[in-house]
Amino acid sequence: QVHVVESGGGLVQTGGSLRLSCEASGRTAGVYTVGWFRQAPGQDRTFVAGLTWNTGSTYYADSVKGRFTISGDNARNTVYLQMNMLKSEDTAVYYCLTGNPGDYSDTKQYRYWGQGTRVTVSS
């Protein structure tokens, strides 16, 4: 019942910045957490960052701490992922997942997800 759409991906150079958006619609009441995940070619989907609306808590993977920032706009039901100081290893398809996970980093504990948006970082 919750629809999620990711956007904002594109091509950037190493050291550049990009902001991704995750827009949720439908019956979002009771869904408190949004998690960003990414999947590079030939690799598993891995956790990037998470945000819980009712507590304001955020959580980041070690690989993106100090470079990425997750934030939310409650009025627009939108969560953003500001990505700075991008590296080639950040190249991946980025997905937005929603739900009420006990573990931010566990994809199986989320209920809804989008189609992904591709980020390519050139050297």
**% of the chain with per-residue pLDDT over 90:** 72
Q: Quickly tell me which residue has 């019942």 as its tokens.
A: 1
Nearest residue to 118 (alpha-carbon basis) of 88, 86, 95: 95
3: amino acid identity, one letter: H
The whole-angstrom separation of Cα 42 and Cα 53 is 33
Give the whole-angstrom CA distance, residue 33 versus residue 31. 6
Provide the percentage of residues in the chain whose pLDDT is more than 70: 100
Alpha-carbon distances of 103 from 14, 39, 50, 107, rounded to whole Å: 31, 19, 10, 9
Token pair recorded at residue 73: 């706009």
pLDDT confidence bin for 118, thresholds 50/70/90: very high
Q: How confident is the model at residue 112 (pLDDT cuts 50, 70, 90)?
A: confident
